[in-house]
A and B are shown apart, each in its own frame.
Chain A
């Protein structure tokens, strides 16, 4: 456990150095103290904002790489992408400030130059490349930050590919314009970061299609409840841990929607099983079409990703799964059933009513065979939202357990609050949410 945390800290430390090194370098070249006169001060701030904004944009592109085995260093794909999201948002704010600060820096000396700086003659093409980068960023970030209403997943993903163009234009803007570095230094700096981003972008948009996606065949589909099916996929063996997820790209030509689109799904099979199993809930056009995917049709699987459940049951645990969020725990229970061994796990299965607790009977059977797994069902329709009383009554030693929660966002928030109320420390609460993966 300690080594895992050290690994994550190391990864984020490297990320921090990458994110701040160019700023430190440029600042050091500009001189130790910031200027005190308004013009030069605004110019220095504008340059710092530009350099840092472009750095963060390029690092954010690099972080979107999604290579199996890379994300556990960052504590899972979700945390990695939270870092990506924060860097991207920070970069956007800094790059919005950059042209305004640089332009306004001329105001004390030459007020007419302010607009000329924003809209210079065409021979200053690097400035226009910068404008291009900023406009492209506005286009692909508009759905991310819901500028014009809620985004649709596929359109959001398509638009996000424009980030490559924004990064390229940003580098084209910065190499000739960075005033504080020698031309060779500027080329090395932005060439290095740009290269990192380009490799990641190339992998993500082109190479991963051939190298990371493995061919599978849908060999069974079992309806679990209305709007929920369990798909079995046969293909090359995949090494994974319970709690991890994969990206599925169905290729069935008869699908009404979502053919060739990738979506993330938790694995519900145990690692030792010969085939992979995933549970699909009807949540949108693509998952609705998957309800009737044909047995025998082709699909690809990319993964595994995620860092939700620990490898070993070396600490007493409380698992709380709600709705389709029960899936990681189904995989873990199936693995426990097969491998045996010591464990001290209480699983609370939250569902609206018994008809929606589609994995309950199988989980009950496993709990009957394995003394280390205890199971409680909680039905919203009968008992209302999960409560601290329910937790304390079923799990008196809850404060001594590490809590893992997976489910819809309201349940995650509720369960986290309840666990804290019952005396569980924040660092012992692990949440898994599938938000825009």
Chain B
């Protein structure tokens, strides 16, 4: 029991240390800090080139689509669209898991620019 208690904290500390070190050495991805106009978002509207806006931020989820737990047809209609509502109300009308929240920044492109 004591061993597993110690092993648990050792693992948590390792994950934390890894994250701190990885953050220091992470090259900036091709983020567009100036913002993504809606027309640009709408151009990436296929399964092979899929951007989505969620809560005002645009993500390039092309690489993630094959790994998403639901069938393709659930996700692809939202390519090139503002998918905030769909993200908040997946199956059974509940939001995505903290896991999804945590993974999203990986795919960030930049803030969505509104027309107005």
Contacts and interface: CB of A to CB of B under 8 A. Distances in A.
Interface string A137-151: 010010001110000
Contact of B4 (A39, A93, A106): A93
A147 B106 contact: no
A37 B67 contact: yes
B98 A96 contact: no
A100 B99 CA distance: 12
A174 to B, nearest CB: 12
B12 interface: yes
A146 B16 CA distance: 27
A124 B98 contact: yes
B103 A110 contact: yes
B92 A110 contact: no
Which of B18, B22, B98, B101 gathers most chain A CB within 10 Å?
Answer: B98
B99 A145 contact: no
Contacts of B94: 176, 179, 183
Interface in B16-53: 16, 18-19, 22-23, 26
Interface residues of A, number: 39
A39 B1 contact: no
B71 interface: no
Contacts of A37: 67
B8 A100 contact: yes
A113 B11 contact: no
B5 A138 contact: yes
Contact of A106 (B11, B22, B99): B99
Contacts of A112: 19, 22-23, 26, 105-106
B98 A177 contact: yes
B69 A115 contact: no
Contact of A115 (B1, B16, B93): B16
Interface in A98-133: 100, 102-106, 109-118, 120, 124, 126-127
Contacts of A182: 92
B72 interface: no
A199 B115 CA distance: 57
Contacts of A179: 94, 97
Given A111-B22, A117-B99, A183-B94, A100 B105 contact: no
28 contacts: A39-B67, A40-B67, A89-B1, A92-B1, A96-B7, A105-B99, A106-B102, A106-B103, A109-B106, A111-B18, A112-B23, A112-B26, A112-B106, A113-B106, A114-B102, A116-B101, A117-B102, A118-B16, A120-B98, A120-B101, A124-B98, A127-B98, A141-B1, A145-B2, A147-B2, A177-B98, A181-B92, A183-B94
Given A37-B67, A127-B98, A182-B92, 20 more contacts: A89-B1, A92-B1, A92-B4, A96-B8, A100-B12, A106-B103, A109-B103, A109-B106, A110-B102, A110-B103, A110-B105, A113-B99, A113-B103, A116-B105, A117-B98, A126-B98, A145-B5, A146-B2, A177-B98, A179-B94
Interface of A: 37, 39-40, 43, 89, 92-93, 96, 100, 102-106, 109-118, 120, 124, 126-127, 138, 141, 145-147, 176-177, 179, 181-183
Interface of B: 1-2, 4-5, 7-8, 11-12, 15-16, 18-19, 22-23, 26, 64, 67, 69, 92-94, 97-99, 101-103, 105-106
